[in-house]
Each structure stands twice: as structure tokens, then as C-alpha cells.
Structure 1
Amino acid sequence: MRTWPPRRWWFAVLTAAATIIVVAIPTALISTPWFTREIPPTPWAWPVLVVTSLLAGLVAATYVARKDGQARTRSGSLGTIGAITAFFAVGCPVCNKLVLLALGYTGALQMFEPIQPFLATGSIALLLIALVLRIRREQSCPLPQPPAAQ
């Protein structure tokens, strides 16, 4: 990461800021007239969101092409799953319409709320794994291709 050009760092910072806004507004961590929370946020919601946003920004920055590098395969499923999982981890368990439809109000409180810390941990772990894999893949040398058989 020390060799990243400034545009990658700017992309990481802007993506991290956008992630905070995109997750914090609908989950009502940031008060707005459009979204409300019936249950106050947990004490770990903001730290999880900040760490997730930073990791999401760094993972997204690995997709910014380098002028000195070759084109690489672009698989982003771990990072995407990690970012989506963070949304469910910091959200209000009874404000999430998908959870309410699946479990009901009582089920959301009894079944979904207790797993939110695990979702938060999983989100951070997935984004960290995605970042490590992307950086390792970027630093690896491509294998020479064997000549085509005729």
C-alpha cells in the first residue's frame, strides 16, 4: 500500500465517507427526518461502521487501476458481502423490513438482535480477507502462459 498513488488514497477516503453516509442514514445512526429507530443504537455500532467503512474504502481502492500495472481479474464478492453484512449489523433489528417480514417483531428482538455482534465481526473479517487477498494478488507476478497446443 506504500506504493499506492494519491488517486487511490483519495478514492479510498471518498469511498469510506460514502459508505458511512449510505449505511448510517438508513440505519438512523445519523438522525434525519426520513428514518427513525425504535431501539437506540448499540455502543459498538459506530466503531463497527467506522472500521467497516475504512476497510471498504481500502478494498475499493484496490480496484483503481495503476498506470504501471497490468489488468487483473476483478472479483469483488467478499468485499460486497462484507459491506452488506455491516448494514444489517448496525441497523435497528425491528426497523429492518426484511427482518420484520421474516421473523416478526418478537423474532427480530429475540433472534436477530443477538446475532448482530457476530454479523459485525463477520463483516469486518470478510472485508479484511478481501483486502489481504486483493493486495496479495496485486503484488504477485503473473505465471507465464504455456504455448497453445496445436
Structure 2
Amino acid sequence: MRTSDSLISAAPLWRRAGAGIVAALASILVLGTVAAVWPNPFFIRMVPTKGYEIPLLLTQSSLFGVYVMVRRPACGLRRMGFASAINFLGVACPICNKVLLLIFGATALMTYFEPVRLYVGILGTGLGVLAIVTQLWRRSAHDIIGDAAQAATR
């Protein structure tokens, strides 16, 4: 009987890479459209972009694709999901985010949050890197433990 952890090693690299590429492209498309980083008929951006939103979005989406490629199916997406949410706050228009607008108000957002949006996006990217490193460390530790268990049963 195969466990879900052994399925990742059974899946070919091209399939994992393909899933990662599809996830990254979907992330770019969905988050970029919702954040109105480019003109689209669905969302209008109230605060103009500053030039760093698209590179942050591309970086975070690429990290998400890598995470999808390396993660074990039994593991959740909590770390990467949190990192993506923080990055999205750095990329998205602060006035267009209704939750932030209701909590802080437009004046507070433009005065205090707008100047640090870049750093919030960088923090989200850093958390994404941490999620990938943690996943790789857990995966290699799992492989080492699995190899040791197989050697012990021989």
C-alpha cells in the first residue's frame, strides 16, 4: 500500500514541474487581475502602481509554483498561503482592499500603510522562501528517515 508521502517520489519530475508551472501561471493571472496590476474589465485600481508590484507578484507566483512542485501531498499549504496573503497586501491597492479599508480607513491606509507596502510585499516573499526551505528540509528529513527505516528492516 502506498502512502501519500511515497506518491511524491513516484510522480515523475515533469508532472511535478508541470503542476508547479500551472500553479504559478494561475497565481499570476488571478492575483494580478484581482490586484488590478494591469488594466482589466473586472477591477479598477484606485491607487496607481509604483513599479514594484509586478516584480513582487512574479516572484511570489514563481515561489508558489516551486512550492507546489516540491511539497509532499500530505502537507498543507498554510505557510505558503500565509506568505502569499502577506505578499498580496503588498501588491494590491490599499484603498481597493475593503477589509483594510473598513478596519483602518482611507486616511490611515494612505498615510501609514502605503509607504510600507513594498516592505510588506518583500516580507511575504521572504516568508514564501522560508516555506519552500522548510518543505525541502522536511522532505529530505522524511527521505532520510524512510531510508533508515528500510535499512533497519533488511
Please report the TM-score for the alignment, with normalisation by the length of structure 1.
0.82
Counterpart for residue 38 of structure 2: 30
Counterpart for residue 15 of structure 2: 7
Distance in 1 of aligned mates of 2:112 and 2:100: 10
Secondary structure of residue in 2 paired with 1:29: coil
Q: How does 1:1-150 map to 2 (within 5 A)?
A: 5-63=13-71, 73-140=74-141, 141-142=144-145
Distance in 1 of aligned mates of 2:16 and 2:33: 26
Counterpart for residue 148 of structure 1: none
Distance in 2 of aligned mates of 1:12 and 1:34: 26
- Runs (4+) of structure 1 exceeding 4 A deviation are none
CA-based RMSD of the aligned residues comes to 1.8
More helix by share: 2
Give how far 1:119 is off: 1.2
Give how far 1:64 is off: 5.7
**Partner amino acid for 1:6?**
W
Contact kept, 8 Å, 1:16 with 1:54, in 2: the verdict is yes
Contact kept, 8 Å, 2:71 with 2:136, in 1: the verdict is no
Distance in 1 of aligned mates of 2:76 and 2:32: 26
Secondary structure of residue in 1 paired with 2:47: coil
Unaligned runs of at least 5 residues, structure 2:
1-11, 150-154
Please report the TM-score for the alignment, with normalisation by the length of structure 2.
0.80
Identical-residue share of aligned pairs (%): 25
What is the aligned length? 135
Unaligned runs of at least 5 residues, structure 1:
66-72, 146-150
CA offsets, 1:107-140, max 9 Å, x none? 1101221221121111111110111111121122
CA offsets, 1:28-51, max 9 Å, x none? 112212210111111110100000
**Partner amino acid for 1:125?**
G
